[in-house]
């Protein structure tokens, strides 16, 4: 299929892009890598009347400001894999980005596009939520920051309003020693994930000082596993003993069933992926101690 007719605009400043989006309202959409929006337009699931090409804007940097790493909306997926700040502070993010699609998708797809698209099992929404990230959105009225836990509202639904676009994501730098891991299961490498899980552990003297656990596949948006995080706090890295808490957390889930996996299978898979990511993060923390 082909998309419906649209007008193409290529502003050379962020201010001009935001002015166009304000003018077009719900009829306008920003476009950069096009890895999500173009297929939806071809299937006519999205029918914008105006496309605002933002590729020429200065939103491609990754830099640290005080204790926050700011990632521009136009940062391509593959850029995360070679950036020293990302490698130093967010190893789970690096591991998760490696699981995104195929080389062409990682070369063209952007952070902002993935977050705005909000596929229920996409890697970057989960990873942003895992790292307590904030999504920075802008409009002609100014900027606002939205916690990732509030930004992703459901399948392909976010807190973005008409005339707004994502300009960056901000991730707080973990304090002290930390380790992270990411696990994903798909029918084939590069396919959409059936489920995924990420873990970040702060640690000291062989014990967990703080845990973050997030998963996707359980609902229409990624979610944090708060009961598991609480149970891991203070646990021994060599034997965290969280199996019972993970099992209890799984019982609260009502994951969807589809052609790829039944609801019971997906529930069990999420538990397995959380356990694998936790075990891997604990091992890495012990090796670094």
Please tell me the distance from the alpha carbon of residue 172 to that of residue 190, in angstroms, as a whole number.
29
Could you tell me the residue ranges of all domains in the chain? 7-51, 62-172, 178-288
Which architecture characterizes domain 7-51 according to CATH?
Answer: 2-Layer Sandwich (3.30)
Q: Report the pLDDT value the prediction gives residue 259, as an integer from 0 to 100.
A: 87
Query: What is the per-residue pLDDT across 192-243, written as a single tens digit (0 to 9) for each?
Result: 899 999 999 999 999 999 999 999 999 999 999 999 999 999 999 999 999 9
Query: What is the per-residue pLDDT across 93-151, written as a single tens digit (0 to 9) for each?
Result: 999 999 999 999 999 999 999 999 999 999 999 999 999 999 999 999 999 999 999 99
Q: Report the pLDDT value the prediction gives residue 289, as an integer from 0 to 100.
A: 79
Question: CA-CA distances (angstroms) from residue 187 to 94, 192, 214, 277?
Answer: 21, 8, 21, 19
Phi, psi of 244 (to 5 degrees): -65, -40
Query: If pLDDT is split at 50, 70 and 90, which confidence band does 1 have?
Result: confident
Burial of 264 (C-beta count, 10 Å sphere; 0-12/13-18/19+) = exposed
Q: Report the pLDDT value the prediction gives residue 92, as an integer from 0 to 100.
A: 97
Adjacent-strand bridge partners of 186: 193
62-172: CATH, from 3.40.50.1980, 3.40.50.80, 3.30.465.10, 3.30.2230.10: 3.30.465.10
Q: What is the CATH number of domain 178-288?
A: 3.30.390.50
- Pull the structure tokens for residue 151: 């930004």
pTM of the model: 0.94
Beta carbons of 280 and 198 less than 8 angstroms apart: no
Please tell me the distance from the alpha carbon of residue 149 to that of residue 214, in angstroms, as a whole number.
11
């Amino acid at each position: 299929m082909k998309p419906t007719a649209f007008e193409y605009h290529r502003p050379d400043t962020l201010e001009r892009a935001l002015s166009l989006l304000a003018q077009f309202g719900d009829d306008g959409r920003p476009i950069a890598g096009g890895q999500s929006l173009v297929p939806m337009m071809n299937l006519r699931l999205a029918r914008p009347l105006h496309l605002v090409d933002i590729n020429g804007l200065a939103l491609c940097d990754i830099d640290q400001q005080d204790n926050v790493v700011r990632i521009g909306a136009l940062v391509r997926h593959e850029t995360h894999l070679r950036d020293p700040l990302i490698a130093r502070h967010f190893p789970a993010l690096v591991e998760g980005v490696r699981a995104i699609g195929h080389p062409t998708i990682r070369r063209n797809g952007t952070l902002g596009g993935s977050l705005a698209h909000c596929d229920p099992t996409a890697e970057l929404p989960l990873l942003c939520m895992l790292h307590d990230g904030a999504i920075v959105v802008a409009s002609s009225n100014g900027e606002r920051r939205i916690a990732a836990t509030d930004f992703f509202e459901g399948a392909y639904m976010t807190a973005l309003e008409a005339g707004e676009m994502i300009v960056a994501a901000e991730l707080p730098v973990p304090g002290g020693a930390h380790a992270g891991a990411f696990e994903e299961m798909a029918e084939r490498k590069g396919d959409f994930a059936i489920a995924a899980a990420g873990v970040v552990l702060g640690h000291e003297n062989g014990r967990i000082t703080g845990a973050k656990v997030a998963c996707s596949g359980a609902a229409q948006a990624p979610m944090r596993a708060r009961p598991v995080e609480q149970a891991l706090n203070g646990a021994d890295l060599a034997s965290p003993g969280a199996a019972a808490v993970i099992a209890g957390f799984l019982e609260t889930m009502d994951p969807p069933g589809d052609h790829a996996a039944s609801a019971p299978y997906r529930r069990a898979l999420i538990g397995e992926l959380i356990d694998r990511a936790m075990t891997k993060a604990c091992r890495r923390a012990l090796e670094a101690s």
